[in-house]
Amino acid sequence: MAPRKLQIAAAGLGRMGHRHALNFLNRTPRAELVAAFTPDPKEIAWGREHLEPFGVTLYTNYDEMISRPGLDAVVIGTATSVHAEEAIQAMQKNLHVLCEKPLSTSIEVCRQVVDEAKKRPHLKVMCGFSRRFDDSYRDAYSKVEKGLIGRPTILRSQTCDKHDPSGFFVEYAAWSGGVFVDMSVHDIDLTLMFFGETIKPKSISAHGCIAVQPGLAQHKDVDNAVGIVEFWGGQIAYYYCSRMMAHGQEDVTEVIGTEGKLSVNLNPQSSLVNYYSGAGITREVPAHYYGRFEMAFVQEANEFAAACLDNTELPMRLDNAVRAVEIGSWLQEALVTGKQIHFDESGKRSEKASL
């Protein structure tokens, strides 16, 4: 008899949701996508064409879907505003949960998800930070583990999107939580990965500007921002996020240690081709983050399935996802208020800098 496959349902078939659905349908051998939910008629239409013929039942009611007998898990790729609620409902139905990041742009709501998960330790609940599943970041991490760069001390990381002149990001800013929460949260998560999950911020600064999307001003957001987080213990991370790149997606990380340095994706490329012309030698760049991280999402799906089926530890802790959003929110606060934020060694906000 063939080994049991994880019976999984997908919530949301939009930008990110439909990718999760397809990955569980086609590229996760140990899982079987049995159901998908979306309230959106366009997405349902897509599901009729791409999922239903392969045995996936479509639902327009989330609760109905997660009540389906035999279901083991749900992957949540709906709008951020419903992530937390759907995750909690799924746990209450005894389902494992893989939730797109972030759990919520509200720390409090994030914490509710974590609390719910703590009550059900037998469930696997993961908030997917795709870079953790990327071969190159893992290669870098294993080199740090081997001690190749000494003690990691400075981390520079940027998430830079291709400029989208459609106005999409202006609307999106109304509820995205701001650029540090929406974009840099990945870089912050990498900081927790490379500096260690117990690290505590000591002070935070941030500055931003609006260069190409004037409409962002109404949402107190920016299209370019730089922030610094100094940690107790003498480590510093600094971030750049931007939605202004002419050339494509450019997500770069450098980890600088006392005895060496690692860079990840310092020279982005969409293929191994260089084109030589009168203009010089040109290398193309992925247009979007999925072009850079597609295989990381596939890896994520497979590792989640394995952890659920084998009851093994997940590759990342749920409360990290909260930590990352929390630090992102502080950066956003520092950006908006124009004030540096300080923390004492216990982690409490303090008015004064600790020197």
With a CB cutoff of 8 Å and minimum separation 6, the contacts of 61 are 37
193-222 binders of its own copies (CB under 8 A): 203, 205-212
Q: Which two tokens stand for residue 174?
A: 């109304």
In the bound state with its own copies, the residue whose beta carbon lies nearer, of 45 and 217, is 217
Provide, rounded to whole angstroms, the least separation between the CB of residue 54 and its own copies: 5
Least CB distance to its own copies at residue 246 (A): 5
Buried b (16+ CB within 10 A) or exposed e, 39-74: ebeebbebbeebbeeeebbbbeebeebbebeebbbb
What is the residue type of 292? R
Q: Does 235 bind its own copies (CB under 8 A)?
A: yes
Sign of CA dihedral 333, 336, 337, 339: positive
Nearest to 9 by CA among 61, 51, 72, 94: 72
Binds its own copies by CB under 8 A, chosen from 21, 140, 185, 321: 140
Query: Quick check: helix, strand or coil at residue 241?
Result: strand
Give 41-60 as a DSSP string: HHHHHHHHHHTGGGTPEEES
Is 338 among the residues that bind its own copies (CB under 8 A)? yes
Phi-psi category of residue 338: left, alpha or beta, with phi > 0 → left and psi -120 to 50 → alpha: left
Which residue number, 67 or 354, has a Cβ lying nearer to its own copies?
354
Using the contact rule CB under 8 A, the part of the chain among 36-44, 104-112, 146-154, 312-320 near its own copies is 146-154
Q: What span, in angstroms and rounded, lies between the C-alpha atoms of 225 and 151?
A: 27
- The smaller minimum CB distance to its own copies, of residues 262 and 307, is found at 262
Enumerate residues 49-78 that contact its own copies by CB under 8 A. 53-55
User: Is residue 14 within 8 Å of 43, Cβ to Cβ?
Assistant: yes
Residues that bind its own copies (rule: CB under 8 A) add up to a total of 84
Q: Which residues pair with residue 91 across a beta bridge?
A: none
User: Rounded to the nearest whole angstrom, what is the least distance from the CB of residue 171 to its own copies in the complex?
Assistant: 21
Q: How far is the CB of 125 from its own copies (least distance, A)?
A: 26
Strands ordered across the beta sheet of 73-76: 57-59, 31-37, 6-11, 73-76, 96-100, 125-128
Footprint on residues 148-187 left by its own copies (CB under 8 A) = 148-149, 151, 153-154, 156
Residues 267-296 that bind its own copies (CB under 8 A): 267-285
Question: Is 79 a binder of its own copies (CB under 8 A)?
Answer: no
Smallest gap from Cβ 334 to its own copies, in A, equals 8
**54 or 175: CB nearest its own copies:** 54
Out of 89, 184, 242, 329, name the contact with its own copies by CB under 8 A: 242
> Least CB distance from residue 9 to its own copies, whole Å?
17
Residues from 23 through 52 that contact its own copies (CB under 8 A): 25-27, 29
CB of 243: closest distance to its own copies in angstroms? 11
